[in-house]
Amino acid sequence: MTVGEAGGRAKELAENLAALRVRLAAACDRAGRDVAEITVIAVTKTWPASDVRLLADLGLTDIGENRDAEAAPKAAECADLPLTWHFVGQLQSRKCRSVVRYADFVHSVDRPHLVRVLAAEARKAGRVITGLVQVNFDPEGGTSPPSGAPRGGIRPGGAVALADEVASEDSLRLGGVMAVAPLGAPPREAFEKLAEIAAEVRARHPGATIISAGMTGDLEEAIEAGATHVRIGTALLGARRPFVR
Ligand SMILES: *Cc1c(COP(=O)(O)O)cnc(C)c1O
């Protein structure tokens, strides 16, 4: 990359961040909330480590990724930066050993077996990982998007018990809950249900204050429903190129 290109990208990211801040402020205004309550996680999947660096220069140090194969080398390339890494994608048990090395937060804890493996790997690595219970609000039955990829998350009825399991592990800290809006349904209802589950979890575990909800398309609804963490890719970095496996 030439100096000119790097400068252009820095300017683009700064402009995107400024526009995002306007959206966040307006959403908080409408919801009667303080924008300081909202943590922006920049989801940098498909974008290079150089963009992570530029975001850090802009003060965005919470970075989200959804695939270990991409996140691990990117985190290594940025090891000199004071970043907090959030793993937000579906997590296979066999990837836990790698993920616990760089991730501070795992937003996609969605089954008891994953709790046990994540806890064991964190313990071995001498780390404490903050886990969020991901809740799946997709309609029962057809849960596969057109790509055929399965969608993560535990059904709402199982979320509190899974949160208890996370809290019981000494190498995990229960952070709260996370959700992605359901496919083909307005996000508001799901985010409101997520907030109810979050309250139930918080009543049992007062430290579990995080509600991770809201992406580029639905951050307003998420903030209105009480989200504390929004996960933003497109609005900050631009449209991702189609993903080819
Ligand atoms: C990609 C991704 C995001 C960001 O999505 P945008 O719509 O680009 O803002 C947020 N959360 C998860 C789990 C993602 O995979």
Please list the alpha-helical segments (H only) found in the chain: 3-31, 49-57, 68-77, 96-102, 112-125, 159-167, 187-204, 219-224, 234-237
**Which pLDDT score is estimated for 184?**
83
Is 89 touching ligand 1 by the criterion CB < 6 Å? yes
Structure confidence by residue, pLDDT tens digits, 147-172 = 555 689 999 999 999 999 999 999 99
Confidence of residue 145 (pLDDT cuts 50, 70, 90): low
Is 0.75 surpassed by the pTM of this model?
yes
The whole-chain average pLDDT of the chain stands at 94
Residue 203 pLDDT > 80? yes
Atom 4 of ligand 1 has which residue's CA nearest to it?
233
pLDDT of residue 153: 97
232 CA to centre of ligand 1 in angstroms: 6
Q: Tell me the CA distances in angstroms from 81 to 54, 55, 121, 215, one per residue in order.
A: 11, 11, 24, 24
Judged against a pLDDT cut of 90, whether residue 144 lies above it is answered with: no
How does residue 133 score in pLDDT terms, banded at 50, 70 and 90?
very high
Bridge-based pairing state of the strands 62-65 and 84-87: parallel
Cα-based angle 154, 156, 162 (whole degrees, multiple of 5):
55
What pLDDT score does 140 carry? Answer: 79
User: Would you say residue 141 has pLDDT above 80?
Assistant: no
Per-residue pLDDT at 151? 83
What is the structure's pLDDT at 67?
Answer: 98
In this prediction, residue 220 carries a pLDDT of 98
Per-position DSSP letters for 70-128, written without gaps between them: HHHHHHHHTTTS--EEEE-S---GGGHHHHHHH-SEEEEE-SHHHHHHHHHHHHHHT--
Tell me how many degrees the CA angle 207-211-216 measures, rounded to the nearest 5.
155
- Compute, in angstroms, the gap from residue 43 CA to the centroid of ligand 1: 6
Looking from the CA of residue 215, the nearest atom of ligand 1 is 9
Q: Are strands 105-109 and 129-135 parallel, antiparallel or unpaired?
A: parallel
Whether residue 232 has its Cβ less than 6 Å from ligand 1 = yes
pLDDT at position 244 over 90: no
**What would the two tokens of residue 16 be?**
């995107």
